[in-house]
A and B are shown apart, each in its own frame.
Chain A
Amino acid sequence: MNVVIVYKWARDEANALVRADGSVDWRNAKMTAGEDDPAALAVARTLAETAGGSLAGLTIGDGDASWALARGVEQAVRVSDVPDLVDNAATAAVLAAAVRRIGAVDVVVIGDSTQNPGVCVALAGQLGWPVVAGLTSATAVGDRVEAVRCIGTRELTFSMATPVVLGVLAQSDVDRPPGMKELLAARRRPLTTWALADLAEPPVDVVSRGTRAPDVPPARIFDGAPTVAAEQLVAALRDAGALA
């Protein structure tokens, strides 16, 4: 079972500075590892190990591609000149073209991003594969994949044939940083760089007419002395019917 882990495919929204007028300044435009990337990588590694198959990394844009190589991925591909795209289908089209070029892929594992929940499902659609998203773990059982989705305290286990796309949700936000030995090993692992023009037509993004601040009123903030602020908050909660 050959597994591809997709990582660093979007910008970190925490790096976006929102001005008072609602316009957005991206202070760091580089693609970064998303919150779900470590969990997705853990699932991909488990799948490759239980099935005895290969594990390759796929990233797009200008992020540091060694992130996965330093975390046990044997080889990686970077499509270097992909801009950050608002249209999740445009991002998915680039990823799908790269997966096709890698070839002989059985499972694609990708973080099921809160910010871009359309990417993993659009990727599956463009590959013509089924997709199961919102997963927390997966393992190979023979030539099939069993994957688990947690809904509160309930656990749903899916069984599926390959090829398939798996969207993984993080249940932990701690990424284990690699040590010096792993960083040095990453330098020796093959990283292949492809240009977008070699894969697909240039992506056409959706037209934006701009951004603005939402109309919702800001929170009512009490910032006086703790005793006074606490009494004001309790009074406000009571007026709002939250304590009734």
Chain B
Amino acid sequence: MSGQSWVVVTQEKQTRGMVLAARALSEPVVALVVGPQSLADLTATTGVDEVRWVPAEADQPPEAFAPALAQVVAASAPRVVLAGAEPGGRAVLGAVAAALSATVLPAVVAMSDDGGQLVVLQAALGGEVLRTLVPAGALAGVFAGADPQDGGAGGSAPVVQLAVESVDLRIARDEAGAAATGVADAARVVSFGRGVRAKADIALLGELAQALDAELACSMPVADDLGWLAKDRYVGRSGQHIAPRLYLAVGIGGAPQHMEGVRDAKVVAAVNSDPDARIFREADFGVVGDLYEVVPALIAAVRSAAPVTSVVKQ
């Protein structure tokens, strides 16, 4: 193995976090970027030593280049390769891992060097515990650590364009769905789950959302199984991924699949009658109680306090 770390970049999100995590090993960091030149140029400012850039046409997903890129990365025999959770980056990571015979670990949050031995910190069980792992050889990690919004080395690393073969895999159609609901860009979101007993009770949650100048959202079962809200209002891994200033979850258990959609929320608060509900492990604030008693009290408390400022999230 070489004393080198690579990060696979297919979108801006998680790039700075991955570079910071790789930097902790005090080894050169190479970014492998698949996408537009703007992404390569941006990545070059995040503190990497070099960018290898694969320009992709609009119908060429990163997955199409994975087999060829595996050979490119394997030729450098890095000790560490990181990718984010985005499926295209993971596809490249999987191919690279096979080429390197690397250990593949999910939820990597940090790495360190312990006398030449790579030590990995993993957020196991949906982040409930931190597990310390020692791979025997190279590591291919799916990164899930902190992702600072800005920062970098200040300079710009050289960008080297790569010409690689792609396999027979393309984007045949890229279709926008229904008009956006506003949940995606809302500064505040009130979201509810199956703790709400009847469809008519949504009005109560709507009243709270109105008092907080928030958008109304829900967990996956509410939209998909019950059909109480439009599907573009459900938050979670396969739904909306949002970054509001406030995410207030009412009657939501907090399964990892749901919480993945609010990973970037600034403040998470929860109302749940179960003091052991998983969501309290990830929330900043919580109220343990019956939502049918707590929500009216919250509406009154918000209305009696100073008005909530109406903002457009930047």
Contacts and interface: CB of A to CB of B under 8 A. Distances in A.
Contact of B241 (A146, A152, A236, A244): A152
Contacts of A230: 287, 294, 297-298, 300-301
Contact of B188 (A112, A155, A214, A242): A242
A24 B103 CA distance: 22
B136 interface: yes
Contact of A206 (B103, B168, B170): B103
Contact of B98 (A128, A152, A173, A209): A128
Contacts of B294: 226, 229-230
Interface in A57-72: none
A167 interface: yes
B9 interface: no
Interface stretch (B34-42, B173-181, B196-204): B173-181
A38 to B, nearest CB: 12
B257 A35 contact: yes
Given A89-B102, A212-B129, A118 B140 contact: yes
Contacts of B101: 89
A226 B289 contact: yes
Given A125-B96, A223-B289, A116 B177 contact: no
B16 interface: no
Given A18-B125, A153-B180, A211-B129, A136 B238 contact: yes
A219 B289 contact: no
Interface stretch (B23-31, B60-68, B155-163): B60-68
Contacts of A244: 245, 309, 311
Interface of B is mostly: mixed
Interface in A172-226: 172-174, 204, 206-215, 218-223, 226
Contacts, number: 310
B131 A210 contact: yes
Nearest to A126: B98
Nearest to B108: A118
A157 B173 CA distance: 5
A223 B280 CA distance: 12
A83 interface: no
Interface of A is mostly: mixed
Nearest to B94: A121
A20 to B, nearest CB: 11
Interface in B76-127: 85-87, 90-91, 93-99, 101-106, 119, 123-127
B12 interface: no
A86 B85 CA distance: 17
Given A214-B129, A229-B294, A230-B287, A121 B175 contact: no
Interface in A63-94: 86-90, 92
B105 A227 contact: no
Contact of B297 (A18, A155, A226): A226
B228 interface: no
A16 B256 CA distance: 14
A44 interface: no
A47 interface: no
Given A118-B104, A118-B142, 17 more contacts: A18-B125, A114-B256, A120-B94, A125-B95, A125-B98, A130-B66, A130-B169, A146-B172, A156-B174, A206-B133, A209-B133, A211-B124, A219-B284, A221-B280, A221-B285, A230-B297, A240-B285
15 contacts: A87-B103, A116-B106, A121-B104, A125-B98, A126-B98, A132-B61, A146-B172, A152-B180, A160-B170, A172-B220, A172-B221, A221-B287, A223-B275, A233-B298, A236-B285
Interface of A: 13, 16, 18, 22-24, 35, 86-90, 92, 112, 114-126, 128, 130-134, 136, 146, 149-150, 152-161, 164, 167, 169-174, 204, 206-215, 218-223, 226-227, 229-231, 233-238, 240-244
Q: 5 closest pairs, A vs B, by CB? A: A121-B94, A153-B177, A125-B98, A230-B297, A134-B87
